[in-house]
A = this chain, B = another copy of it.
């Protein structure tokens, strides 16, 4: 019997720091003795429920974040390339159809989460790598196709995405994050000795490693391990 530590990763594809946290954790899931649960959720719901304001709305924070995202992406080795108008992408266009679609993909996927991982990645790549839309069904279909879904699977998932079942599933996941105490994403919830330990952001993963008794090997553990 293996006692893998369960780590829930709450994320939203409109959040660039979520992307970094997601990629690093996806690398570590094969290195650490963990069971990484991908939890697509709706960030705007979390911000509203917690009363938090996006950091990007304060001029000095926005300037800092722009620079911090760039150099973090380089160090974390994520193909980040900001859209021309990040505030428009994040706050006007938003991510509700995209996150419902990801939730539908997850609902459909049996025996693993490879597809939900890959579809999420392709959505981030569109918005935070190629300045492409993620609000239209055709855009979601394009991402899903790149992720390896068939036309029929995509049609199914697009249909499911507008059903009450999927809407409620996304609401439920968002609500669960709020109940843990979320005020933004990414949120990592580590279950250690029966207690949920929260880590907000992509910058506390060394501390997370320490808390779950694993070794931090930097942002590319796959390559670090290969070098040993």
Q: Which residues does A use to contact B, with CB under 8 Å?
A: 50-52, 58-61, 63-64, 67-68, 71-72, 75, 181-183, 197-198, 200-201, 203-204, 206-207, 210-211, 216, 218
Q: How far does the Cβ of A57 sit from chain B's closest Cβ, in whole Å?
A: 9
Bound form: Cα–Cα A105–B59 in Å: 34
Q: How many copies does the complex hold?
A: 2
Q: How far does the Cβ of A10 sit from chain B's closest Cβ, in whole Å?
A: 13
**CB-based contact B204/A63 at 8 Å:** no
For A181, give the chain B residue with the smallest CB separation.
Answer: B60
- The interface residues of chain B lying within 8 Å CB-to-CB of A211 are 71
- The interface residues of chain B lying within 8 Å CB-to-CB of A58 are 50-52, 183
For A206, give the chain B residue with the smallest CB separation.
Answer: B206
CB contact between A203 and one of B61, B67, B183, B203 (< 8 Å): that residue: B203
For A67, give the chain B residue with the smallest CB separation.
Answer: B198
